[in-house]
């Protein structure tokens, strides 16, 4: 049976033709005979294109596609990659589409491979193992894990793809208890640049598995992955305290956060954000206290911030699926906004730097009414993360204590130049007092201009590039964070 074709793709040798595809390109003729009946193919001009192409979270630096394919089987992916490589057709495999970096904007007039059909979840409770498909989102695993009394360190929202986050390292509120997501990754099956389906683990293709854990988007398309999962903490209940403070309290709040620089309990995660309240006409500094344990154990940390005189205080006892799938995802998972991120990894909390930034942020937001950013510092214990030797994975920055993300959102594109100037200034300011001699950039939060050494670590690049020559010599993969 032929694949389901929503539109025959016929591209002439014009600006809209796929590079290297010849004077007449017909995607149906090229891919159709080699993929299964469950595969969908659509042209960008087709009315059904939106149901085939992968979703896109941010409109900033967005890729553009002439066509999209939604494969149904692993064999389909193998054939698509093989044929696209042979015909020099640029492609980008996507799942949740939650990444935002300048490299995505370099993907123009390409082929989208939408992995939405690969959203399977299977849990072996007795062995504490979970296997997911390459198109699975974190929101697909929260409830199934909770139902069997298990948990996995995950990202903090439901809408992020499991593998996209994992291959860059995988940070989140469970990090203090279980380390990075890659620290629980046991094996993968993936399609490489040659179209081959290979396995990788600590014992099979171990060098490739090393590279996948921290630089994985450079080496292929993961179709399936197995993780070790953990017995859930505190019966799957978590205490969430949310506080909002006026501008005058910023030094007190940042000083309280700095008191955790030398030690933060593994059960505790802190989110400290700067936002602008348009109704009040001034900025707010906000704190989320997340504690995976009973309220009695959380109380000293709640009291620490309550004593600073918040304008708003809300404390809740939630299940972990409620925390990640609802509360922390509110306002974060809406597709179609303009998200222009910047990031700094910090080894210390320099209160004067944070306070200076807060004042400049307030001034900038007042001068730019369409600016609706959330600048959030995520503070996790890195003790468990540090128990994995640096040489064990490609991930380079196990010494980061706080992940500072400038999530710049705005509706008026004309302020983009001002946003970039301010963000680069703030980034440099925090780098200077970060406690690190070189920039530490979590690759999944990058803007795109930091360079490979900041994302992958200069000491890791030689090995990564050597492996790239073995597994992807023609550089089919790497968007948005290439190794060169």
pLDDT in tens, 356-408: 999 999 999 999 999 999 999 999 999 999 999 999 999 999 999 999 999 99
- What pLDDT is stored for residue 331 in this prediction? 86
- What pLDDT is stored for residue 23 in this prediction? 33
Spans of the chain below 50 pLDDT: 1-24
- What pLDDT is stored for residue 28 in this prediction? 78
Q: Which of 380, 426, 431 is nearest to 401 (CA)?
A: 380
- What pLDDT is stored for residue 25 in this prediction? 54
Calpha distance 158→171 (Å, rounded): 14
Q: Which of 74, 88, 69, 72 is nearest to 28 (CA)?
A: 69
- What pLDDT is stored for residue 226 in this prediction? 98
pLDDT in tens, 427-450: 999 999 999 999 999 999 999 999
Phi-psi region of 116 (alpha: psi -120 to 50; beta: other; left: phi over 0): alpha
- What pLDDT is stored for residue 343 in this prediction? 98
Looking at the DSSP bridge assignments, the partners of residue 345 are: 403
């Amino acid at each position: 049976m032929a694949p389901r074709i929503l539109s025959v793709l016929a591209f002439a040798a014009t600006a809209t033709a796929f590079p290297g595809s010849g004077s007449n390109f017909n995607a149906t003729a090229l891919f159709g005979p080699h993929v299964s009946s469950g595969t969908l193919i659509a042209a960008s001009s087709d009315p059904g294109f939106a149901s085939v192409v992968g979703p896109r979270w941010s409109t900033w630096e967005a890729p553009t596609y002439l066509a999209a394919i939604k494969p149904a089987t692993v064999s389909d992916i193998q054939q698509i990659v093989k044929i696209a490589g042979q015909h020099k057709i640029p492609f980008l495999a996507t799942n949740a589409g939650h990444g935002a970096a300048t490299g995505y904007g370099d993907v123009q007039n390409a082929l989208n491979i939408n992995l939405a059909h690969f959203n399977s979840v299977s849990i072996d409770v007795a062995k504490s193992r979970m296997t997911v498909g390459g198109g699975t989102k974190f929101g697909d695993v929260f409830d199934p894990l909770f139902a069997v009394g298990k948990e996995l360190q995950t990202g903090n929202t439901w809408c992020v793809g499991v593998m996209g986050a994992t291959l860059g390292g995988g940070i989140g509120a469970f990090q203090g208890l279980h380390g990075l997501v890659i620290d629980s990754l046991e094996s993968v099956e993936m399609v490489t640049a040659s179209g081959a389906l290979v396995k990788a683990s600590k014992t099979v293709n171990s060098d490739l598995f090393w590279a996948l854990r921290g630089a994985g988007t450079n080496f292929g398309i993961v179709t399936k992955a197995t993780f070790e999962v953990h017995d859930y903490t505190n019966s799957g209940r978590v205490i969430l305290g949310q506080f909002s403070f006026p501008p005058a309290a910023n030094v007190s709040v940042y000083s309280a956060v700095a008191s955790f620089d030398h030690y933060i309990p593994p059960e505790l995660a802190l989110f400290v954000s700067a936002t602008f309240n348009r109704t009040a006409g001034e900025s707010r500094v906000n704190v989320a206290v997340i504690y995976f344990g009973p309220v009695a154990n959380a109380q000293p940390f709640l009291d620490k911030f309550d004593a600073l005189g918040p304008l708003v205080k809300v404390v809740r006892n939630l299940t972990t699926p409620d925390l990640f799938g609802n509360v922390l995802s509110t306002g974060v998972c809406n597709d179609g906004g303009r998200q222009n991120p910047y990031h700094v990894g910090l080894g210390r909390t320099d209160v004067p730097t944070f306070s200076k930034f807060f004042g400049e942020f307030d001034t900038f937001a007042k001068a730019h009414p369409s600016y609706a950013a959330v600048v959030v510092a995520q503070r996790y214990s890195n003790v468990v993360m540090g128990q994995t030797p640096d040489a064990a994975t490609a991930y380079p920055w196990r010494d980061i204590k706080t992940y500072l993300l400038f999530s710049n959102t705005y509706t008026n594109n004309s302020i983009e130049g001002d946003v970039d100037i301010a963000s680069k200034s703030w980034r440099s300011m925090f780098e200077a007092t970060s406690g690190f001699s070189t920039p530490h950039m979590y690759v999944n939060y990058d803007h795109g201009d930091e360079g490979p050494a900041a994302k992958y670590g200069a000491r890791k690049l030689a090995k990564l590039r050597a492996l790239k020559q073995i597994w992807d010599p023609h550089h089919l993969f790497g968007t948005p964070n290439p190794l060169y």
